[in-house]
């Protein structure tokens, strides 16, 4: 049956090449635009190294801090937290598998060898648990451990690009020293380059924050600072339990610091990866439901508009098949069978066009990655880059197939229904009514 549909669909394409070409191009463009929107969201939520565990991540990137005695009721200071606050609220939790504290941003920092010109690379300061939460690909050496972190030893994990730029090679440099912001550091590991789209893990160098001193960058009685926190759950089903434990710990901690008038406002943190992807302000909780509705409206517009145009072309193709439909009805085919055949044949064409549209979206995403995936409020020294693992996952193909299916129903459903309603005698005679 499927083979018959394919054969018939190809025959229709050959018989009406111009209409078919316009229909395929229109469908491909629709899928192209839709899949670009999907990919823009996908790079923020889909798992890829070194954030392969995104489905188990909970994030507390920022916090809100109030003090009714000092600032008045309802006024808050908003931004990254201190390492102390992150430890008290999140690292102390027992339910998660692990939790890491790291610099909220990777900041350009001068790197060089002694007596040589410095080059700016993006530095991120972290704790030792960072390497358990995120999965970096080491090509040499290893990450710093808890003992090294607690001892404040100045060591660094660097990327291939940094290694090549500073040392001229990626081999045999573990143990060698370089200057980071004019202070000596020793290389302990080399990793594959990381895309800036891995927003939590990204950096070009990583050092213990005990050595880099970022934990000393605090304010508001040491409650605020420059740190973010990511929690790794044992499984996604643990999210509710983790949040419940986090809320209990927050209540306990607020009671403690409340003696001085301080209060941390959680705004329902920590957020999962999807919610964190649309969060852009510390004093504002993202509305995930509204975001999903917005996405749905965009998809409907991108589907309905081309579907109307393609529907008229489908109707034009069916005018040439009125007699065929009449003969099939005369030999016992039901109206539902006629409709099913027309929709199935059109779906073959839609799938072909959808594959073209998906290919176009991938090519465009690669060519325009710096523009399409540009990040707001980014201090990174390099532009966003994508690779095939970010763009093409199982979900990508499932979404493309789903949108092709919906577009096919919208564009061919009504013409097929009309064709099935034509009387047998009129259809055999080539009449539409």
Query: What pLDDT sits at residue 72?
Result: 75
3-class secondary structure, 289: helix
Mean pLDDT to the nearest integer, 375-404: 80
Mean pLDDT to the nearest integer, 390-400: 86
Mean pLDDT to the nearest integer, 404-420: 76
Query: What pLDDT sits at residue 427?
Result: 47
Dihedral sign for Cα atoms in the order 145, 123, 365, 400? positive
Q: Which residue has the higher pLDDT, 189 or 336?
A: 189
* Statement: residue 433 has pLDDT above 60: no
Where are the alpha helices (H) located in 46-101, listed in sequence order? Answer: 68-71, 83-86
CA atoms of 128 and 144, how far apart (whole Å): 6
CA atoms of 39 and 190, how far apart (whole Å): 30
Whose CA is closest to 356, among 30, 40, 10?
30
Whether the Cβ atoms of residue 261 and residue 220 lie closer than 8 Å to each other: no
3-class secondary structure, 272: strand
Q: Which residue has the higher pLDDT, 377 or 151?
A: 151
Whose CA is closest to 286, among 300, 272, 301?
272
Whether the Cβ atoms of residue 103 and residue 187 lie closer than 8 Å to each other: no
List pLDDT tens digits, range 160-195. Answer: 999 999 999 999 999 999 999 999 999 999 999 999
Global confidence as pTM: 0.84
3-class secondary structure, 213: coil
CA atoms of 12 and 159, how far apart (whole Å): 55
Tokens of 283: 């004093």
List pLDDT tens digits, range 350-363. Answer: 888 899 999 999 99
Query: What pLDDT sits at residue 325?
Result: 59
List pLDDT tens digits, range 218-262. Answer: 988 899 999 999 999 999 999 999 999 999 999 999 999 998 889
3-class secondary structure, 232: strand
Residue at token pair 């600072």 = 225
Find the helix packing angle between 17-45 and 335-367, rounded to 10°. 60
Mean pLDDT to the nearest integer, 33-54: 92
Q: Are strands 227-232 and 57-60 parallel, antiparallel or unpaired?
A: antiparallel
Where are the alpha helices (H) located in 199-334, listed in sequence order? Answer: 209-212, 239-257, 273-277, 288-319, 322-330
- In this structure, of 140-144, 294-298, 330-334, the range with the lowest mean pLDDT score is 330-334
Query: What pLDDT sits at residue 293?
Result: 93
In Å, how far are 164, 173, 391 from 170, measured between CA atoms?
A: 6, 7, 28
Mean pLDDT of the chain: 86
DSSP assignment letter at 113: -
Which of 59-68, 132-141, 290-299 reaches the highest mean pLDDT?
Answer: 132-141
CA atoms of 62 and 81, how far apart (whole Å): 6
Tokens of 12: 């229709």
Q: What is the CA radius of gyration of the chain?
A: 29
Q: Burial, 385: exposed, middle or buried (Cβ in 10 Å; 0-12, 13-18, 19+)?
A: middle
Give percent above pLDDT 70 in the chain: 83
List pLDDT tens digits, range 54-113. Answer: 999 999 999 999 988 788 777 888 999 999 999 999 999 999 999 999 999 999 999 999
């Amino acid at each position: 049956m499927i083979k018959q549909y394919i054969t018939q669909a190809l025959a229709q394409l050959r018989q009406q090449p111009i209409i078919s070409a316009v229909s395929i191009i229109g469908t491909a463009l629709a899928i192209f635009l839709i899949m670009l929107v999907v990919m823009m969201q996908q790079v923020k939520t889909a798992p890829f190294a070194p954030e392969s565990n995104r489905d188990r991540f909970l994030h507390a990137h920022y916090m809100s801090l109030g003090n009714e005695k000092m600032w008045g009721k309802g006024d808050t200071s908003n931004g990254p937290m201190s390492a102390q606050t992150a430890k008290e609220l999140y690292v102390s939790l027992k339910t998660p598998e692990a939790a890491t504290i790291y610099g909220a941003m990777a900041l350009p920092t001068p790197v060089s060898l002694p007596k040589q010109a410095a080059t700016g690379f993006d530095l991120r300061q972290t704790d030792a648990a960072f390497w358990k939460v995120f999965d970096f690909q080491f090509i040499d050496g290893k990450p710093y451990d808890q003992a090294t972190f607690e001892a404040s030893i100045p060591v660094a994990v660097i990327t291939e690009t940094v290694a090549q730029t500073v040392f001229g090679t990626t081999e045999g440099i573990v143990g060698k020293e370089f200057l980071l912001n004019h202070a000596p550091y020793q290389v302990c590991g080399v990793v594959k380059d990381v895309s800036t789209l891995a927003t939590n893990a990204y950096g070009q160098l990583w050092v213990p924050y005990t050595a880099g001193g970022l934990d000393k960058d605090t304010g508001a009685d040491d409650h605020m600072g420059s740190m973010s926190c990511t929690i790794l759950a044992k499984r996604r089903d643990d999210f509710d339990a983790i949040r419940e434990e986090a809320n209990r710990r927050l209540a306990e901690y607020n009671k403690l610091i409340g003696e001085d008038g301080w209060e941390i406002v959680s705004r329902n943190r920590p957020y999962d990866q999807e919610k964190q992807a649309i969060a852009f302000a510390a004093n504002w909780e993202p509305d995930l439901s509204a975001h999903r509705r917005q996405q749905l409206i965009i998809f409907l517009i991108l589907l309905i508009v081309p579907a109307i145009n393609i529907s008229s072309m489908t109707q034009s193709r069916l005018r040439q098949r009125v007699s065929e439909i009449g003969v099939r009805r005369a030999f016992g085919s039901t109206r539902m069978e006629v409709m099913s055949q027309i929709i199935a044949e059109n779906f073959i064409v839609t799938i072909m066009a959808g594959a073209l549209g998906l290919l176009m979206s991938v090519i465009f995403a690669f060519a325009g990655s710096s523009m399409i995936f540009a990040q707001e409020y980014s201090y990174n020294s390099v532009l966003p880059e994508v690779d095939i693992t970010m763009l093409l996952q199982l979900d990508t193909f499932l979404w493309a197939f789903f949108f092709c299916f919906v577009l096919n129903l919208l564009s061919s459903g009504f013409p097929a229904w009309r064709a099935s309603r034509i009387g047998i005698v009129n259809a055999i005679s080539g009449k539409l009514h």
